[in-house]
Amino acid sequence: MRKILIIEDDDGLRDLLHSYLEESGFAVVEAADGLEGLEKISGELFDLMIVDVMLPYVSGIGLVKIAKGRHPETPVICITGYGNSPEKLAEEEHADRVLSKPFDLKELAQAISELLS
């Protein structure tokens, strides 16, 4: 079973993503902020990460940079509600996809499918 890490500070969105991904057959691990996310990527390997760009304590951009430095083969999807500037930053830090909030779960599923194939 493939394992996905969700790092998202919005409880409702994190719960929605967790439920959706579990129903889709993935093992899901979650973190509620950047510091918790950093702990998760330090201790486990993931098949894919979904990272909010704007997180408390450690930014999503910082997390992506650290994650890609340690495991460049792990695909990362960044999600953002803050327009073009964070998207550009995410792309510069080698996120594999950037989705703007609100996004459709089908759009997320397609991105995951493409990145894991």
Q: What are the extents of the domains in the chain?
A: 3-116
Interval 74-84: pLDDT, tens: 999 999 887 66
Residue 100 is predicted with a pLDDT of 86
E-strand ranges in 1-117 read: 3-7, 27-31, 48-52, 76-80, 97-100
Give the architecture (CATH level 2) of 3-116: 3-Layer(aba) Sandwich (3.40)
Residue 69 is predicted with a pLDDT of 92
Residue 91 is predicted with a pLDDT of 64
Residue 38 is predicted with a pLDDT of 94
Neighbours of 28 (CB within 10 A): 19
pTM: 0.92
Residue ranges, the chain, pLDDT below 50: none
